[in-house]
Structure 1
Amino acid sequence: MHPRMRRVRPAGVRTSWRTVDDGDFFCAACGGDRRYRLRSGRRRFVLLGVPLLPRGAAGPVVECGGCGSHFTPDCLDHPTTTRLSAMLREAVHSVVLAVLAAGGTQARAAREAAVEAVRGAGFPDCGEEELTALLAALTADGRVCLEIELHETLAPLAPHLAVPGRESLLLQGARIALADGAYGAEEREVLAAVGRALEIGAGDVDRLLAEARMPS
């Protein structure tokens, strides 16, 4: 008998797959951003290579276009590294604006600290004029608009950041608030809101605000 003939299974269950969606995702097996295919399938009982009885649905599964690994669809809830970087930049920007709005833009030291933080986050062309103009536009209808933006930016990011990353965002805001002196009441209120949006407990917020006051 031919060697290939001996490997043929006379009967079994075979799955036929079809692609229902595709895109980019973070592959935990590859450790980076990759293309994916979202696939669903139908299982059938096969006899001598001929599909006969249906055996139900298979999947859906996410298949990595790089390594071929399969994952459950909830892996698509994790942002790609590209998207996560963008979310971090937006988060720093929002925290900076919220702290400036609470403490005012009159102090040059605070403005300079804010510009430094925003540039370090990935906005190298941002200057004081641009930052204060954007702040004026966002606060034109009151600070409620800015507080809503702060929550909408930070809350989706929090589940994807480890504790040190979330604390680092809060500390950046605290250092801007301290650039022109001690915390004001409104600055403390905003920083507490930042902590809540980042899922940092009130006790840890107090600890971090005290830590920011210590000389580096």
Structure 2
Amino acid sequence: MRSARKSRDRSGVLCGIRTSWNTIGDGEFFCEECGGDRNYRRRTGRRRLTLLGVPVLPRGETGPVIECAACHTHFGTEALAHPTTSRFSGMLRDAVHTVALAVLAAGGTSSRTAVDTAVTGVRAAGFADCTALQLIELVEALAADTGRFLPDVTSGGAALAIELHEALEPLSPHLATAGRESILLQGARIALADGPYSPAEREVLGTVGNALALRVDDTERLLASARTTSL
């Protein structure tokens, strides 16, 4: 029994597979193992059968893999689809800003309460220097740009949907349901700041819910809840 076990152990040491890695690129990514942004190396490998530690026969290629420069864990290349912390923050900030502009464009900027509510949300998202004047000027500039952003039901609705989808869809897969609902509710608070939803505001908020991959009935439930809370 003992001699047989020694023989198996010896054969495991004598023969094995070794991978020789080659770095073909690098960058920064979000490492799930470390739980934060880290540098990475994009690597491919060649596998070889080894005898007594010496490579003797090729056994094909492997990879590419993403190797964390800190913990050296290997991930599939799909790990690069996860935004870094800094990029995610920028995406979230831009999404909230776009929703605020869209709702103001739909309801108008004559209500100081609505504009101030939008400013509060945009500042909380990361644009600390945002002012009411800046938002008003942006809405006016967008309206002057052949109406491409304003939700004119007959002509601008499709253009507005494109703007919102471009800002929200890349972010949605990386947000929990509560996070996606929070963005919609922020838009609802802006719309309700000066009274009940207008048809144009409802249209915009429905587009926001769709772009955030929320079900239609969930969007309606959230909008109704926000209306009740604001009373």
Both proteins in one fold, TM over 0.5: yes
* Unaligned segments of structure 1, at least 5 residues: 1-5
Worse-matched range after superposition: 44-53 or 61-70: 44-53
The question of 1:10 aligning with 2:1 is answered no
The question of 1:175 aligning with 2:175 is answered no
Q: Once the two structures are superposed, what CA deviation does each residue of 1:183-212 show, in whole Å capped at 9, x if it has no partner?
A: 000000000000000001110111101111
Deviation of the 1:136 alpha carbon: 2.1
Deviation of the 1:56 alpha carbon: 0.4
Question: RMSD across aligned C-alpha pairs, in angstroms?
Answer: 1.8
* Unaligned segments of structure 2, at least 5 residues: 1-9, 150-155
Q: Aligned partners of 2:218, 2:12: CA distance in 1, in Å?
A: 63
Deviation of the 1:12 alpha carbon: 2.4
In the alignment, is the contact (CA less than 8 A) between 1:138 and 1:146 conserved in 2? no
SS for the counterpart of 1:40 is: strand
Q: Aligned partners of 2:177, 2:223: CA distance in 1, in Å?
A: 15
The aligned runs of 1:51-62 (5 Å cut-off) are: 51-62=55-66
Worse-matched range after superposition: 93-102 or 51-60: 51-60
Choose which of 114, 120, 129 in structure 2 pairs with 1:116. Answer: 120
Deviation of the 1:214 alpha carbon: 2.3
Q: Which residue of 2 aligns with 1:137?
A: 141
- Count how many residue pairs are aligned between Structure 1 and Structure 2: 211
The TM-score, its normalising length taken from structure 1, stands at 0.92
Question: For residue 23 of structure 2, what is the amino acid of its counterpart?
Answer: T
SS for the counterpart of 1:46 is: strand
Q: Which residue of 1 aligns with 2:205?
A: 191
Q: Once the two structures are superposed, what CA deviation does each residue of 1:41-76 show, in whole Å capped at 9, x if it has no partner?
A: 001122334323211011111111111111111111
Q: 1:8 to 1:198 in 2, by over 3 A?
A: closer
Q: Percent identity?
A: 60
The aligned runs of 1:98-117 (5 Å cut-off) are: 98-117=102-121
Q: Once the two structures are superposed, what CA deviation does each residue of 1:155-184 show, in whole Å capped at 9, x if it has no partner?
A: 110111000000000000000000000000
In the alignment, is the contact (CA less than 8 A) between 1:98 and 1:147 conserved in 2? no
Q: Which residue of 1 aligns with 2:46?
A: 42
The aligned runs of 1:62-81 (5 Å cut-off) are: 62-81=66-85
Q: Which residue of 2 aligns with 1:148?
A: 162
The TM-score, its normalising length taken from structure 2, stands at 0.86
Q: Aligned partners of 2:162, 2:198: CA distance in 1, in Å?
A: 21
